Amino acid sequence: MATEAHGEGLTFHPMDQFKIQPLFGEGPIHWYTPTNATLWMGLALLAIFALFVLGTRGRALIPTRLQSVAELGYGFVHKMVEDVTGKDGLKFFPYIFTLFCFIVFSNFLGLIPGALTTTSHIAVTAFMAVAVFLTVTLVGFIKNGAGFLGLFWVSSAPLALRPVLALIEVISYFVRPVSHSIRLAGNMMAGHAVIKVFAAFAPLVLISGIGIAVTPLSILAITAMYALEILVAFIQAYVFTILTCVYLRDALHPHH
């Protein structure tokens, strides 16, 4: 974040932390250009590999700390998928587990000062949300055929209301990838921006006497927001994953 003093004022740019920049040199960014987003997504994949491959290679009867964390994460997502989608949804566990791991590691890596939070970019979250949308839609039609359309027909409602409810259900279904992606990106972007705003007030002690009172409050606010962002980083990964499970359940069992 850029923070500059101009006379008695302070100029800061809390959104600069979300800029996509080339890793090497300057100039236009093409689809093949290595960027800071490429770097931090790659680091997320390396962290996942380190935990679930290197951390569990010993398969010890008495697990190490890394193996315990890996087993805990595996069991947590496995139980989530089974509880929400049922036994027949477990065949999609590897896909859902991969989504959860990528999101949670990207979120936590984004908390490192100077890092880029890739899940704050709608291009990343939209890609995942659209992939989920297409997957569950295909699964719904492949497994149920035309019966998948029963998802939109509320048979328990009065007959006169069913066409109206069907239209609402269709609209809400196609809005799913929008809400699915914006929820994650919006929450990650908002929290990081607020932290940067509070951080901009910390150097005020160097600019004016008022800063002596402002600085401790800013540091306290940054600490509180950072603690909250740690919680949000996990919760948003959980919310994205459990919504994926809910959408998959609707595809497997479409009838109201």
- Rounding to the nearest 10 degrees, give the CA dihedral for residues 63, 90, 136, 133: -10
The span from the CA of 73 to the CA of 50, in Å, is: 14
Residue 108 one-letter amino acid: F
What's this model's pTM, rounded to 2 decimal places?
A: 0.86
Task: Give the relative orientation of helices 162-201 and 211-252 as an angle to the nearest 10 degrees.
Answer: 150
Please give the pLDDT value at position 5.
Answer: 45
* Dihedral sign from CA coordinates of 236, 239, 241, 243: negative
Q: Are 233 and 110 in contact (CB under 8 A)?
A: yes
Alpha-carbon separation of residue 71 from 35, 104, 107, 156, 203 (angstroms): 33, 15, 20, 42, 43
Q: Are 110 and 188 in contact (CB under 8 A)?
A: yes
> What are the residues facing 10 on neighbouring strands?
5
Please give the pLDDT value at position 197.
Answer: 79
Closest CA to 242 of 135, 98, 96: 96
Residue 203 has phi, psi (to 5 degrees) of -75, 5
Chain centroid, CA 90 distance in Å: 22
Closest CA to 248 of 106, 134, 109, 118: 134
Please give the pLDDT value at position 78.
Answer: 96
Please give the pLDDT value at position 214.
Answer: 57
**Rg, the chain, Cα only:** 23
List per-residue pLDDT tens for the chain, 256 residues long: 444 444 444 566 777 778 888 888 787 887 788 889 999 999 999 999 999 988 888 777 778 888 999 999 999 999 999 999 999 999 999 999 999 999 999 999 999 988 899 999 999 999 999 999 999 999 999 999 988 988 888 887 888 888 999 999 999 999 999 999 999 999 999 888 888 877 776 665 544 444 455 567 777 878 888 899 999 999 999 999 999 999 999 999 887 5
Say which residues have a Cβ less than 8 Å from residue 237's Cβ, sequence separation at least 6.
Answer: 100, 103, 104, 107
